[in-house]
């Protein structure tokens, strides 16, 4: 029945079709990254296939390898949250805000000055306002920080 559908040359073409299919869909040799050596090898392979075409076998390998590398880095090189006041200053700079602009968000200009110089702690209400208006994550704003001593 198969010969009737595809012609009599099917059996002769089958090895070539299998070989071409295997070349097109080369299997990836991906494994978990458990050690520094595995991590280094993964980074080297990532660099080699970095410009792979999306949808190609190397492109798929690049995607999976990137996920594994990210997981390893998150577990072994965690990045903590920034200081809340530095985060506010950074966001102010990004938005082109000055202390007067921030005072419109959280209250008096003198209070803003005290906050930015770490002489006053952020209140829950200030954290909410900063989050809503400056889009600073609350996880960053609730971090503990030391007040500076008044002179």
The answer on 53 and 108 residing in a single domain is no
| C-alpha span between 63 and 45 (Å, rounded) | 12
Segment 65-103, tens digit of pLDDT:
999 999 999 999 988 899 999 999 999 999 999 999 999
The answer on 110 and 72 residing in a single domain is no
The answer on 10 and 71 residing in a single domain is yes
Share of the chain above pLDDT 70, in %: 80
pLDDT for 28? 65
The answer on 13 and 71 residing in a single domain is yes
- Domain ranges, residue 100: 84-141
For residue 6, give both structure tokens: 């595809």
pLDDT for 29? 75
Cα–Cα nearest to 87, from 29, 138, 51: 138
Res 10 pLDDT > 70: no
Res 21 pLDDT > 70: no
Residue ending a domain, among 34, 52, 76, is: 76
* Domain presence at residue 148: no
The answer on 9 and 72 residing in a single domain is yes
Give me the CATH number covering residue 111.
1.10.260.40
* Domain presence at residue 150: no
| C-alpha span between 93 and 134 (Å, rounded) | 11
Segment 116-143, tens digit of pLDDT:
999 999 999 999 999 999 999 999 999 9
CB 57 within 8 A of CB 65: no
The answer on 72 and 10 residing in a single domain is yes
* Domain presence at residue 146: no
Res 24 pLDDT > 70: no
The answer on 72 and 90 residing in a single domain is no
Q: How many domains does the chain have?
A: 2
Place 104 in a pLDDT band, splitting at 50, 70 and 90.
very high
Place 149 in a pLDDT band, splitting at 50, 70 and 90.
confident
pLDDT for 122? 96
pLDDT for 79? 84
The answer on 108 and 47 residing in a single domain is no
pTM, entire model: 0.54
Computed over every residue of the chain, the mean pLDDT equals 86
Res 19 pLDDT > 50: yes
* Domain presence at residue 147: no
Residue 97, classed as helix, strand or coil, is coil
CB 138 within 8 A of CB 127: yes
């Amino acid at each position: 029945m198969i010969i009737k559908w595809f012609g009599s040359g099917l059996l002769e073409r089958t090895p070539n079709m299998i070989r071409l299919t295997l070349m097109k869909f080369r299997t990836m040799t991906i494994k978990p990254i458990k050690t520094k050596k595995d991590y280094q090898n993964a980074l080297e392979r990532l660099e080699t296939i970095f410009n792979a075409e999306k949808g190609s076998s190397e492109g798929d390998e690049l995607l999976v390898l990137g996920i594994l590398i990210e997981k390893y880095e998150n577990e072994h090189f965690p990045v903590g949250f920034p200081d809340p006041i530095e985060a506010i200053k950074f966001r102010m700079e990004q938005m082109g805000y000055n202390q007067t602009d921030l005072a419109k968000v959280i209250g008096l200009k003198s209070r803003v000055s005290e906050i930015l110089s770490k002489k006053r702690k952020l209140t829950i209400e200030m954290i909410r306002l900063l989050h809503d208006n400056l889009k600073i994550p609350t996880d960053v704003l609730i971090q503990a920080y030391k007040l500076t001593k008044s002179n």
